[in-house]
Structure 1
């Protein structure tokens, strides 16, 4: 109806006057391309910082994994060392037992050989252990001597093993200390980048707030200009209608009974495509798009084509413009029905908005008209905040072209309503919250 009224008005008073009004309003709108460019630059800087944080987080996780692995190796070495010590103790007990057996045999030999035997030193408890060992060995049988040598060799090998295990454990402990230092440095760097990102986000918020204020002032000025133009158009139409009525009356009087001119034909109104509502209470918003092409899944789902785009379900419009998006269009509405009630849907880029902020919408409401432009459209979940961010961006899932968890979820919703899903670029980055509806 609004478009038909503007078309009639243009024919009644000529397009030049109305065009002059609109251009005048646009020139005084207070639009700030420099500010929009600054916001876009800051967003790119924030994206770079987000990627740095992700890289540092991966580095910290890698170091932590290595740290845990080294700790496990140290525990294994400690277990092996304990085993070697237990074996050494066991061998010492066996050697002591063998030593006793040798002494016992020496006593027997002494009893047979008399007091001149060298074994006397054993019985006298000679404190010289080397001499005692020599007496033991000299008086032991060949088999016992071999056993003593074997036990001593085993003890030496175990001692070497224990020394090597201690050296390995010391090396792993040193590596553990190095990893701890590296992890601390990475965490410090991550904190510094996070602080820088918070600062950049704060600057973006300030810039966007100023941008939104300027845009609001521009819209108000444009509305005033359009209202004045509409009033002049209405006055011109009334004058033209009065003049036409007078001419018709004069013609009727002159013709004396001839049929009057037929009334103008009423404009034809094309009814929108009725919504096929799913059990969820939602309908395919792309059902009337001509030449519809599905593109990638990223923050949301990208498409191209031409024609009307509808609201998915009942809701209330929150915004129609955001200078950070190509073309400036960023239509958002908060759903008021269905499993996603309370969540915010966005449709952005090459769209001419057909709704206004605060307007109630249903699945039969055309929220905008898609024109076959260079960027197509993107639709998905928005965070509903004043900055006009997507949920994927707010959750740090989007790095420039990747498929996000929120984009993949919205693609599934559209598929459940009969629209073609988007093209997945990768295993979705991140995921939606646990209480988020699934489709």
Structure 2
């Protein structure tokens, strides 16, 4: 079903970016609503899968906790086994002692009652024959009766304890087997959902890439149209200038005594045609700090919370803040696996490490030098968006907020708030603060 859904969604946009982009009456490119609807639908499916994975993860954790509890009960039972086994051994010794007493009494009884006494069966060490010995109790001494009764009572206790121990062991083993099966099923379902989510994210990336390519081609077409219009306008101006020059020369010829030469009269009306200048992306607007807004080209930028760093969503290229060197591009502990970390080499935060993580297609490599005009990667408007902030530089995917113990799952941290202030100073929108920032910054940390 997943593959069929992806295929139909891709066919819905025609498989070609050129078919989904038009130019509005204002001259700016617009994305066809059908593509936007397809992307939105797939984002909703990705969100549903993410929620399903979270629910399955809770189920697996619950089963694991139950499994651990049962294992604890089994360990207690094993301790109880040792106690029961010691009790059983003690009762066996008691049985042996009681049996000896019965044998001694039986010998005495035999001397009195003769060879046909059924108490002799006890001498054969046959516990089931103790009932036969009861028939001769009336002829036995009180010591014989007490010995036989005690023997039977201890034997019954021993049988009961051994039976209960085996029942407990069987019950716990069955429960462990059931929990193992449930955990395996939940983990399998979780893995399947994760695979589906990976497929959905991949399709979203492809569709957004097609959208960006189509928008770029539309912009190029718009630039070409502007160039043609500029050339036509220049040609019209040149023709008008030539006509004006001709008229001036004619008037000068008719005015012999004016004292002004035709060349002097026409010298201010002969503009030279200039070739139109191609429109190119403007360089980054660098602030006095030496840094630039890394989100300046993100389309449909959506501002989200401040936590370890600052969360955003949208689509388009994300740039480096300043000059630096790339330390890492991947960490499996982050959604999507992307964790671009680069150490700044200029400005007030030189030596500190910046990260951009989650739904980003990487365009840089480890060891590469970057500037504010370097595209680190392309945000593809996935289910998780992006998070950017201060990293601890360990190349292990850790943030400064986490290393300093400031982050507890969703709270605004001092490091995240500081980075939000930096972005705001560069012209980007700051994030949404959840609480009074948790923790504090190290001494000498730059302020913005």
Match of 2:419 in 1: 414
* Mapped contact 2:306–2:416 kept (Cα < 8 A): yes
Change in 2 beyond 3 A, CA 1:58/1:176: same
Offset, 1:216:
1.0
> How many Å separate the matches in 2 of 1:422 and 1:123?
91
Structure-1 separation of matches of 2:163 and 2:123: 34
> 1:217–1:130: structure 2 CA closer, same or farther, 3 Å change rule?
same
Structure 1 pair 284–206 and aligned structure 2 pair: CA distance change class (3 A): closer
Give the structure 2 partner of residue 43 of structure 1: 43
TM-score (norm 1): 0.51
Q: Aligned equivalents of 1:405 and 1:237: distance in 2? A: 62
Shift of 1:108: 6.5
2: distance between equivalents of 1:181 and 1:123? 52
Q: Which residue is 2:182 aligned to?
A: 182
TM-score by length of structure 2 reads 0.50
Q: Could you tell me how far apart the structure 1 residues matched to 2:436 and 2:174 are?
A: 40
Give the corresponding residue for 2:197: 197
1:57 is displaced (CA, Å) by 1.8
Deviation track 1:145-204 (CA, whole Å, cap 9, x = no partner) reads 546534643442343243234333333333333323322332332233223223222321
- 1:53, 1:193 within 8 Å by CA — same for their partners in 2? yes
Distance in 2, Cα, partners of 1:93 & 1:51: 62
User: Which of 434, 439, 444 is the aligned partner of 1:424?
Assistant: 434
Look up the match of 2:265: none
Deviations 1:308-366 (A, max 9, x none): xx9854479xxxxxxxxxxxxxxx998753456574499xxxxxxxxxxxx9539xxxx
Query: Shift of the alpha carbon at 1:416?
Result: 7.8
Name the Cα RMSD after superposition.
5.6
Deviation at 1:80, TM superposition (A): 2.8
Whole-angstrom distance in 2 between the partners of 1:418 and 1:204: 27
Give 1:289-328 correspondences, 5 Å limit. Answer: 296-297=305-306, 301=310, 312-314=321-323
Structure 2 segments unaligned to the other structure (5+ residues): 1-22, 249-284, 296-302, 313-318, 326-339, 359-369, 389-396, 398-407, 425-429, 439-446
Structure 1 residue aligned with 2:377: 384
SS of aligned partner of 2:164: helix
CA distance in 1, matches of 2:123, 2:341: 101
1:170 to 2:170 alignment: yes
CA distance in 1 between partners of 2:169 and 2:381 (Å): 56
Q: 1:386 to 1:423 in 2, by over 3 A?
A: closer
CA distance in 1, matches of 2:158, 2:184: 39
Of structures 1 and 2, the one scoring higher in RCO (CA 8 A, sep 6+) is 1
**Counterpart residue number, 1:149:** 149
Query: 1:361 maps to what in 2?
Result: 372
Aligned residues: 306
